């Protein structure tokens, strides 16, 4: 009642009368509106035996306290969830042994996900009987509302409000559905962009890697062309022994041409495999060869962009690892991302420390009782402790704007954990090193 505007239209000769009246009235209204467990006792204590009342429903015309009690008992089952109330204002007029009260009560309750407010008009009459006030008439009504017989609450208002809320929820649901579709489309585009970005990283490395076998193919082809001319001359001259020697040299060179041709073919196939959508079917792959392949592709890709860059690559491949069942193009993306990040880190550190710093990337595989381990460790900038917990979150990146999508590690983590049932953990010390350990099921 602290914020309620109470107007006394007549001051009683005994100020205590006002306090007594308010105490009785507030207790009766709480029992009427909230129907607590002890409501019946409160109503009988505060109301006269011949209490008359008009409720909010069509049939709520009462002529005794007994009927009043039954009405509240019935309406208790209809109480809205989270019902609360407070007085907007209350006018009091005391004339002798009779007091008249009128005012407005704000009722509020939960409906759907909102809180509905309704103003309720009140008028009541009390009579002083002995040492206490007794209610002799109470009238409550909801403005501009209609209740059906047997209903104490404004069902027309509630239904209209509920319909309004349902329509609002439907609109919001549709808006959220549309937003979700847009988000999914954007996410798909970003993931594809990340895959294309990793393919772009491969391009320079592939160009370097494929150049070596092609050089061998070209060189040995030119040598064989000269040897064939000599062979023809020796055959014409009848020098069978010399011709056989030349034929053997040509045969050996052809073997080298085939070997390096297959090497070039393997590189192209790996590039196409990396670019294509995964089939979802795992295959057994020589893990050490896969790791070594992507390590060199990543390194030469960086070298193609920065000729001054150089780094020591230390490898320790456990031959016991052998072939591991996996999605090779997906695991290739993981390895390429880890190697690119490692090289990026050592490049940044060298930019800070200068030529005195020697970049080192250590890569190892190992077969253990727990599974197959892949370790990637660099002596670069490390990862700050405060961001370590965020590195697998989508779109989180510590790189400058435009240099990273923030999806690389997130995608890698999902590929290892969800796609292969493995684990991926990071260990780091800021300014000294960063290490990523992958464990795959054997």
64 lies in a domain?
yes
Lowest model confidence (mean pLDDT) among 290-304, 316-330, 418-432: 290-304
Q: What is the phi/psi pair of residue 88, to 5°?
A: -75, -45
Q: What are phi and psi of 204, to 5 degrees?
A: -65, -40
Whether 85 is covered by a domain: the verdict is: yes
Residue 288 CB contacts under 8 Å (≥ 6 apart), including other chains: 317, 318, 319, 321, 365
Helix, strand or coil, per DSSP, at residue 316 = strand
Task: Verify that 148 and 284 share a domain, yes or no.
Answer: no
- CATH number, domain of 88, equals 3.10.450.50
In a domain, 248, yes or no: no
Residue 381 lies in a domain: yes
Q: Is the pTM value of this prediction over 0.75?
A: no
Bridge partners of 426? 436
Number of domains in the chain: 2
The CATH number covering residue 393 comes to: 3.30.565.10
What is the average per-residue pLDDT within 19-37?
91
| pLDDT tens by residue, 406-422 | 567 888 888 899 889 99
Q: Is residue 373 part of a domain?
A: yes
Residue 164 forms part of a structural domain? no
Question: How many Cα atoms within 13 Å fall on the side-chain side of residue 44?
Answer: 7
In contact, 195 and 333? CB cutoff 8 Å: yes
Do 292 and 441 reside in the same domain of the chain?
yes
- The domain boundary residue, chosen from 90, 125, 153: 153
Q: Report yes or no: 424 and 412 within 8 Å, Cβ to Cβ.
A: yes
Last residue in a domain, options 100, 123, 153: 153
**In the predicted model, what is the mean pLDDT of residues 20-48?**
92
Q: Is residue 251 part of a domain?
A: no
pLDDT, tens digit, 9 for 90 and up, residues 68-120: 999 888 888 777 778 889 898 999 888 888 999 999 999 888 776 678 788 88
Asked if residue 68 belongs to a domain, the reply is yes
101 CA to centre of own chain: 56
Alpha carbon 359 to its chain centroid, in Å, reads 36
Q: Range of 113's domain?
A: 5-153
* pLDDT, tens digit, 9 for 90 and up, residues 304-315: 777 788 899 999
Strand partners, 424: 438
DSSP result, 355-380: GG---EEEEEEEE-SS-EEEEEEE-S
Q: Which of 96-105, 179-188, 238-247, 416-425 has the lowest mean pLDDT?
A: 179-188
């Amino acid at each position: 009642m602290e914020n309620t505007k109470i107007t006394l239209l007549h001051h009683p000769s005994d100020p205590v009368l006002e306090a007594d009246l308010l105490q009785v009235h507030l207790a009766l209204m709480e029992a009427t509106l909230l129907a607590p467990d002890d409501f019946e006792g409160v109503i009988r204590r505060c109301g006269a035996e011949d209490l008359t009342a008009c409720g909010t429903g069509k049939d709520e015309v009462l002529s005794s306290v007994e009927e009043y009690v039954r009405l509240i008992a019935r309406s208790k089952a209809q109480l809205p969830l989270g019902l609360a109330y407070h007085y907007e204002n209350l006018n009091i007029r005391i004339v002798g042994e009779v007091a008249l009260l009128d005012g407005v009560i704000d009722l509020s309750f939960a409906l759907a996900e909102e809180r509905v407010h309704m103003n309720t008009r009140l008028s009541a009459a009390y009579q002083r009987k002995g040492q206490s006030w007794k209610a002799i008439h109470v009238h409550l009504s909801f403005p501009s509302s209609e209740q059906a017989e047997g209903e104490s609450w404004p069902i027309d208002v509630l239904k209209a409000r509920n319909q309004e809320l349902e329509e609002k929820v439907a609109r919001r649901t549709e808006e959220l559905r549309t937003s979700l579709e847009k988000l999914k489309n954007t996410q798909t585009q970003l993931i594809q962009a990340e895959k294309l970005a990793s393919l772009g990283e491969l391009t320079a490395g592939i160009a370097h890697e494929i150049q070596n076998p092609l050089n061998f193919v070209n060189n040995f082809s030119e040598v064989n062309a000269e040897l064939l001319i000599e062979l023809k001359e020796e055959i014409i001259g009848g020098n069978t022994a010399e011709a056989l020697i030349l034929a053997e040299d040509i045969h050996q060179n052809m073997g080298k041409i085939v070997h390096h041709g297959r090497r070039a073919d393997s590189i192209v196939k790996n590039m196409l495999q990396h670019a294509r959508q995964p089939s979802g079917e795992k295959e057994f792959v020589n893990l050490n060869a896969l790791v070594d392949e992507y390590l060199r592709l990543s390194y030469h890709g960086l070298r193609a962009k920065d000729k001054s860059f150089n780094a020591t690559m230390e490898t320790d491949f456990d031959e016991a690892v052998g072939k591991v069942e996996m999605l090779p193009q997906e695991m290739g993306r993981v390895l390429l991302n880890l190697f690119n990040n490692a090289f990026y880190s050592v490049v940044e550190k060298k930019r800070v420390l200068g030529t005195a710093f020697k970049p080192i990337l250590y890569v190892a595989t190992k077969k253990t009782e727990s599974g197959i381990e892949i370790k990637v460790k660099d002596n670069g900038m490390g990862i700050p402790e405060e961001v370590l917990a965020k590195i697998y979150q989508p779109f989180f990146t510590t790189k400058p704007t435009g240099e990273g999508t923030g999806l690389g590690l997130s995608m890698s983590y999902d590929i290892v954990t969800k796609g292969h049932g493995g684990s991926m953990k990071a260990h780091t010390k800021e300014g000294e090193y960063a290490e990523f350990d992958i464990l795959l099921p054997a």
